Amino acid sequence: MDLNNLPVFVAIYTTGSTQKAARFLNRSQSYVSKSLARLREELQDPLFVRTAAGMEPTSYSHDIAPKLRKALMNLNQTLLPHDFSPKELEKISIHISQPILHRFAKPLILAIKQQTDAVIELRQWQTKSEQELLDGVVDIGFHAITDRPQTLYQRSLGQVYGVMAGNAKAALMKTEVIGFNEHHAIYSQFEPDVQAALIIDDMTLRDQLLEHYRCYLVSTKQVPTNDYEMKIHLGYVVRSSRRAEAKIQWLIELCSTVFNQHFENDNQANR
């Protein structure tokens, strides 16, 4: 049975006229008449008898009309978007690239906790993060904007800078960031003939070794005199098909506010 014909039945039952039903449904009278004909054939009942007073429902129509009204009302309620409330969430999963994890994680966690008691699972970006975003295991990720499949939607939140830091006279230390530079040396665009003397993947260790090595690190502050500076767009990554989901929209808005506030504070401090 074509469910599109059921509202036609209810409209005729309510108005007592195919003409009035057509106006009520914003359809042509021909459409209403054809729908009624199909319903009569499918239900094996005349449904309505034309009289001088209008379309008189059969006993069968009187019997099914209240049930159909209720069924259509329930169907419409089912199809309406669910009113979203962060307080109803049970868990939130976020992956953040390590260089920005220590700068944004704390304010992000505190902002989320102000709106929900959901369990927050916040991990650093991993090799499997993109796949877990696609699988729905991870809700949102934060990383540098890079080439990604169309099944993932990404948008820039702001610009950060890769700047030279540490002991300028010392050997080069490369800090690998998953999903960014583990397979190539970004610094080679500035120093094509230089090889890293030390390769690590931990930011805490990197900071401890800045006295003994030089390296590139992420900063929200631009250094005009620094010859070794790269611009990096930092943004969020979500599964494209979940982009309009209420939970994801809430996370995007909340996280964007936190990141933008952080960028604004840093910019004011740098003036």
Domain range annotation of the chain: 3-79, 86-270
| 156 within 8 A of 145, measured Cβ to Cβ | yes
Judge whether residue 267 has pLDDT over 70: no
**pLDDT score recorded for residue 263:** 66
**pLDDT score recorded for residue 53:** 83
26 or 244: which leads in pLDDT: 244
| 242 within 8 A of 222, measured Cβ to Cβ | no
- Coil, strand, or helix at residue 181? coil
Tokens of 211: 């006295």
**Rounded-to-integer distance, Cα 178 and Cα 186, Å:** 13
Judge whether residue 265 has pLDDT over 80: no
Q: How confident is the model at residue 171 (pLDDT cuts 50, 70, 90)?
A: very high
What number is the average pLDDT over the span 241-248?
Answer: 91
Q: How confident is the model at residue 24 (pLDDT cuts 50, 70, 90)?
A: confident
Instruction: Express each pLDDT in 86-142 by its tens digit.
Output: 999 999 999 998 877 877 889 999 999 999 999 999 999 999 999 999 999 999 999
For residue 147, the one-letter residue type is D
What number is the average pLDDT over the span 193-199?
Answer: 86
Among residues 43, 68, 72, 57, the alpha carbon closest in space to that of 12 is found at 57
Judge whether residue 271 has pLDDT over 60: no
* DSSP structural state of residue 191: -
Instruction: Express each pLDDT in 27-83 by its tens digit.
Output: 898 999 999 999 999 999 999 999 988 899 999 999 999 888 888 877 766 665 667
**pLDDT score recorded for residue 3:** 80
Judge whether residue 205 has pLDDT over 80: yes
The set of residues, in sequence order, having a beta carbon less than 8 Å from that of 34 and lying 6+ positions away, is none
Cβ burial, residue 45 (10 Å; 0-12/13-18/19+)? middle
Architecture of domain 86-270: 3-Layer(aba) Sandwich (3.40)
Kindly state the helix (H) or strand (E) to which residue 158 belongs, with its residue range: strand 152-166
First CA to last CA distance, the chain: 69
What number is the average pLDDT over the span 260-269?
Answer: 63
pTM for the full predicted model: 0.64
Cβ burial, residue 157 (10 Å; 0-12/13-18/19+)? buried
**Multiple choice CATH, 3-79, 1.50.10.20, 1.10.10.10, 1.20.1440.230, 3.90.550.10:** 1.10.10.10
**pLDDT score recorded for residue 78:** 67
| 220 within 8 A of 161, measured Cβ to Cβ | yes
What number is the average pLDDT over the span 233-242?
Answer: 91
Q: How confident is the model at residue 259 (pLDDT cuts 50, 70, 90)?
A: confident
**pLDDT score recorded for residue 63:** 92
